[in-house]
Structure 1
């Protein structure tokens, strides 16, 4: 018989067990030879049953690769974007708001906190651990409201101090949940940016160093995939370093906004209780005291426009990383770079001679995911019906995902750059078989001296010697090779560090 299971997969599992026990099959399921497809499905049922035992979260069973396969590489973001980080940020905002209320003379019900009371609060914040955060999650099972659970846990903790116990009812005073949340998210983003910036800088520094070291290494450039005027490897790397540095410089300049204005942004509850307090001034001082920028015009929510600005800045940096990944991948494929192998690494499961550009491919994939998320966040978060709808709530819980995939991309690109060896011989050989690129300087010099003749790519030097132009021009063109026709590429590459310092 079939067990009364909630899910069909469990029911099927029971059915298989009954059949295996040798009991007579019911008339509904007549015994017959199982098809290959059914056998495959039955094997799959065993896997489902095994999965039911995977309740304890670990890197092995995490659904998201951010916390699973790549958990060791993204753990630096947990202090910014984990559930614990969100709860701790909320607790911080609640405590700071309570301290602010104690400083307002008109709110005489909350006496100015003594040094001892303030130290108690500071110690509570300093020692707020994941185990404390679990208390919030336990209370939330009853309240079904995450911010209210934070309020209850704080009140329970403050009962231990006689002075603070008198002010318990002013925890979360006049606040809507979004007053706490918007400030918490801003704090989280600030902390998350601080994790990304060093990784961004590392790539810029690496590229700048490589640019200077290879400033004089001539290289064939390509436009439309075809050979074009020569450049140097250092100059091309400097191009990317400068682009990245400029976008990186914009990221910390994006102001992180916050509000503390109540249910619809008008301080309605605040003013009904204490009409003589300049609550907007209080809110501004409070928000800026958290290291954020005060937004004076809000609804129930801070409108998240700054988030779109921030994500756009990171997205632009990521897009340049994508461009770099693809270019380096292509240069590897034509032999301009060799890749150093790491002891124990396997390049291909069936072709041991291969060293695949996996780091740049991994980076490219992670950039794609990160930018897709940032694009959605930027498009969604600034849009909220009337004074507020809740569609942003679940979206905001994914702030760290875009950061996580960005971090993985940066790490992979850095790792890939660290494995590269420049194959100058391959670049020189490529230049040596593309003398036609010298048609450009020859034609340009001819125009200067008013000579109108087509350039024959064959016998170019002989052709140059026959031109009716000054001898010094002939000598200069005759001495030119594709490897020396690089303009000021070398000088540009050598100035990259200086030029990056000028970026504002």
Structure 2
């Protein structure tokens, strides 16, 4: 059929239908499309709409703070009702507010100025239109932005990301406890090594991840409100009698942030770089968890519980692929890469200010989104695992040579105790075991030929690879 003007308007230059014109629900990125449900909680903190809501909140609180402390002559405290109505501008911020702000910004071509006008429009209804000039008083845009970003990031970390990460680590810790005494062959350099327990190895993971989460939980979220170059110049010029440092410090701390007294036009963002380094380190440890679990699945230590109706492969119906861990790997790599870029970019600003941080910070939500998605996938993947204790036991039983370490150490102890014939224990075990498979009978025959004391010989003859785990099960107690 011939192409009409209407269809031509919704096609790309190559002639394909322009999907963006056909539906507002089609997203460019996966976090706002395929994986939206997994990262939805972050939208309330790290989206552009959330940033604007927090900007409105900071501007409103600054107005209340200035009037409540009678910082400016003629601008005394507001009534409780007026304060409540001002704060309602924030609590009632919705999709209509987002659209209105966008309309204002289309004229101002400045996002923070749009927020100022947005609030100013609402003051007459509160009966305080005479205070319109007090909105954004003494502020540069970065005064509002740095505080808004700090509030959004703090909320995202403390209310969304950190609880999800803690829950995952608790899940791993529970697995460690449940499997604390399940013996498992270790592999150092990919080769059979001194046995451990599955629970102890899972405890190592949980311990590592918890250390990073504890660091993240101690993050100091800094903020400033000191003018165009951090000197309070406009503040002092307009109201020279005010203690502006005290006004700024009490305001920032009143928002639940830490006050940064020394800045240029921007808050230096060093705290952000520190936070992102810690989150990226958590990501990378979790990435190591994914690759290890994936490997254990591949050798049969874990069995994946199939999901009813799910397809593992489009052509091989027997397969149950470890897709949760593979998906997590990719998302952790993307998140860590973004966090690295943010951390290195945000600590640098030319002279008293450049705008690179503005564009960079708009990707904070993306970085945390990919990490949160990975955490969700790892948790789901772990939920579908069953420990194959028979496989672990069989692997141990075919690697009796790992007892060589125990035997030569017992021989050393015997030599120190004065037992004769204990010379060159390492070399003797090396000749017996290196690069060779040794079964139970051959190992016990060797032990009986050594001339050990009766007690030492009895201990070694009772030892099996599955029992040679030291105090691995007790080490899990360190997670408590």
In the superposition, the TM-score normalised over structure 2's length comes to 0.92
Query: How many Å separate the matches in 1 of 2:176 and 2:84?
Result: 52
Is 1:353 matched up with 2:321? no
Match of 2:33 among 47, 59, 68: 68
Match of 1:186 among 150, 161, 178: 150
For the 8 Å contact 1:220–1:230, the answer to whether it is kept is yes
SS class of match (2:288): helix
* Partner of residue 171, structure 1: 135
* Partner of residue 419, structure 2: none
Is 1:217 matched up with 2:220? no
SS class of match (2:30): coil
SS class of match (1:180): helix
Query: How many Å separate the matches in 1 of 2:18 and 2:229?
Result: 49
RMSD after superposition: 1.7
Is 1:440 matched up with 2:422? no
Alignment of 1:22-421 (within 5 A): 45-47=14-16, 49-51=17-19, 53-54=21-22, 56-58=23-25, 61-162=26-127, 164-193=128-157, 194-421=159-386
User: How far apart are residue 480 of structure 1 and its match?
Assistant: 0.6
Query: How many Å separate the matches in 1 of 2:189 and 2:115?
Result: 58
* Partner of residue 483, structure 1: 466
Is 1:452 matched up with 2:416? no
Query: How many Å separate the matches in 2 of 1:106 and 1:118?
Result: 16
User: How far apart are residue 106 of structure 1 and its match?
Assistant: 4.5
Residue segments in structure 2 that go unaligned for 5+ positions in a row: 416-421
Query: How many Å separate the matches in 1 of 2:256 and 2:237?
Result: 28
Could you tell which deviates more after superposition, 182-191 or 128-137? 128-137
Could you tell which deviates more after superposition, 444-453 or 353-362? 444-453
Query: How many Å separate the matches in 2 of 1:436 and 1:355?
Result: 33
Query: How many Å separate the matches in 1 of 2:44 and 2:322?
Result: 32
SS class of match (1:207): helix
Match of 1:468 among 426, 433, 451: 451
Query: How many Å separate the matches in 2 of 1:244 and 1:281?
Result: 39
User: How far apart are residue 186 of structure 1 and its match?
Assistant: 0.1
In the superposition, the TM-score normalised over structure 1's length comes to 0.88
Residue segments in structure 1 that go unaligned for 5+ positions in a row: 15-43, 499-504
Query: How many Å separate the matches in 2 of 1:351 and 1:46?
Result: 37
User: How far apart are residue 57 of structure 1 and its match?
Assistant: 2.5
User: How far apart are residue 50 of structure 1 and its match?
Assistant: 3.6
For the 8 Å contact 2:185–2:396, the answer to whether it is kept is yes
Query: How many Å separate the matches in 2 of 1:122 and 1:154?
Result: 11
Could you tell which deviates more after superposition, 452-461 or 260-269? 452-461
Query: How many Å separate the matches in 2 of 1:352 and 1:216?
Result: 35
Change (3 A) 1:159 1:214: same
Query: How many Å separate the matches in 2 of 1:111 and 1:369?
Result: 51
SS class of match (1:265): coil
* Partner of residue 479, structure 2: 497
User: How far apart are residue 133 of structure 1 and its match?
Assistant: 2.1
Could you tell which deviates more after superposition, 394-403 or 465-474? 465-474
